[in-house]
C-alpha cells in the first residue's frame, strides 16, 4: 500500500519495468553491438537501467542520455558518479527533440507510453499521446539505424509496428514480458482510455496485466529476418 505518492510523482519509479528495460538493453543491444558505439537514449529517468546494463557488460562506447525531468537528471548523475561511469554515460537535461539529432548507431528508450486524452496525469512526462504511441513514433522518425524501444500491448501495438514498417524498419528481435498494472497505468484517466481502445481492438490486456515488449527495430533485415508478424500476434493475444 502506498503511503506517499510524492516520490512516484516526481521521478519515474517502477523497478519491474525499469529492470525489464535494462535486460532488453543488455541482451538486444549491448551484447550484440561492437561495444564501442555511441548510443543515444531518450528519457533516462534515474539512470538505473543503463547503469545496471553497463555494469553487466564490457561495453566501452558511450551512452548519451536525454532527460527533461530535472529531479530525475540529478538523481541519475549521482548514481553515475557513485558507479564511476562518467566516461560511459553522459546525460543532458533536455529533450532529444530540441537538439540536432546526435550521431549514434542505436537509439534506445523506455518511452512515455500512457494513453490518455490529455497529459494531466500523475506525471505529465509519461503521457504518450491519445493512443500512447506518439512519442515512440517520433523516435522512429529520427532515422536512426537501430531503435530499441519498449512497446505496450495497451498502446495500439499493431499501429506502432505498422508505422515502423512504413518508416523502413524491420523487427529484428524482441522480448516480451507480462507486467502488472502499476501506479501510473492504473490512473483512472489511463484506464478509461485503454478501455475505450480495447473495445476498438487497439488495446490488449487482462484484468491485472498487460504485455510489454522490448523491440529492436532495424533498417536492415537481420539474419533472423523480419519478426513483425510474430510480434503482432503475441502483442494482441490477451
Could you tell me if residue 129 is left (phi over 0), alpha (psi between -120 and 50 degrees) or otherwise beta? left
205 contacts ligand SAM (rule: CB under 6 A): no
Minimum CB distance to ligand SAM smaller for 95 or for 237: 95
> Per-residue contact track with ligand SAM, 89 to 128, x per CB under 6 A?
------xxx------------x-x------------xx--
49 contacts ligand SAM (rule: CB under 6 A): yes
Candidates 151, 142, 141, 146; CA nearest to 231 is: 151
228 contacts ligand SAM (rule: CB under 6 A): no
Residue labelled with grid coordinates 524491420: 170
214 contacts ligand SAM (rule: CB under 6 A): no
Host H or E run for residue 179: strand 170-180
132 contacts ligand SAM (rule: CB under 6 A): no
C-alpha cell of residue 202: 487497439
Rg (CA), the chain: 17
Number of residues that bind ligand SAM (CB under 6 A): 20
Q: Which stretch binds ligand SAM (CB under 6 A): 41-49, 78-86, 173-181, 190-198?
A: 41-49
Rounded to an integer, what distance in angstroms lies between the CA atom of residue 13 and that of residue 9? 9
Bridge partner residues of 225 (DSSP): 222
Helix (H, G, I), strand (E, B) or coil at 42: strand
- Sheet strands side by side (includes 38-42): 89-92, 62-66, 38-42, 106-109, 146-152, 209-218, 170-180
Considering only 59, 66, 205, 210, the residue that binds ligand SAM (CB under 6 A) is 66
Minimum CB distance to ligand SAM smaller for 122 or for 163: 122
Q: How far is the CB of 203 from ligand SAM (least distance, A)?
A: 18
Considering only 39, 45, 203, 231, the residue that binds ligand SAM (CB under 6 A) is 45
In the complex, which residues of this chain contact ligand SAM (CB under 6 A)?
Answer: 12, 18, 21, 42-45, 49, 66-69, 72, 95-97, 110, 112, 125-126
Amino acid at each position: 500500500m502506498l503511503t506517499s505518492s510524492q516520490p512516484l510523482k516526481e521521478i519515474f519509479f517502477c523497478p519491474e519495468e525499469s529492470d525489464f528495460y535494462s535486460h532488453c538493453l543488455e541482451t538486444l543491444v549491448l551484447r550484440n553491438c561492437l561495444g564501442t558505439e555511441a548510443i543515444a537514449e531518450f528519457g533516462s529517468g534515474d539512470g538505473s537501467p543503463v547503469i545496471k546494463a553497463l555494469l553487466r557488460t564490457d561495453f566501452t562506447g558511450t551512452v548519451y542520455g536525454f532527460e527533461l525531468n530535472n529531479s530525475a537528471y540529478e538523481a541519475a548523475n549521482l548514481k553515475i558518479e557513485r558507479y564511476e561511469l562518467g566516461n560511459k554515460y553522459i546525460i543532458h537535461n533536455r529533450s532529444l527533440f530540441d537538439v540536432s539529432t546526435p550521431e549514434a548507431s542505436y537509439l534506445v528508450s523506455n518511452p512515455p507510453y500512457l494513453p490518455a486524452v490529455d497529459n494531466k496525469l500523475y506525471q505529465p512526462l509519461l503521457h504518450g499521446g491519445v493512443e500512447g504511441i506518439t512519442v515512440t513514433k517520433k523516435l522512429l522518425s529520427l532515422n536512426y539505424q537501430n531503435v530499441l524501444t519498449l512497446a505496450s500491448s495497451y498502446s495500439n501495438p499493431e499501429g506502432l509496428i505498422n508505422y515502423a514498417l512504413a518508416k523502413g524498419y524491420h523487427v529484428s528481435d524482441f522480448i516480451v514480458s507480462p507486467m502488472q498494472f502499476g501506479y501510473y497505468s492504473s490512473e483512472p484517466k489511463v484506464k478509461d482510455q485503454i478501455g475505450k481502445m480495447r473495445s476498438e481492438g487497439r488495446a490488449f490486456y487482462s484484468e491485472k496485466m498487460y504485455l510489454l515488449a522490448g523491440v529492436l527495430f532495424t533498417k536492415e533485415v537481420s539474419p533472423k529476418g523480419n519478426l513483425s508478424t510474430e510480434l503482432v500476434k503475441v502483442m494482441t493475444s490477451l
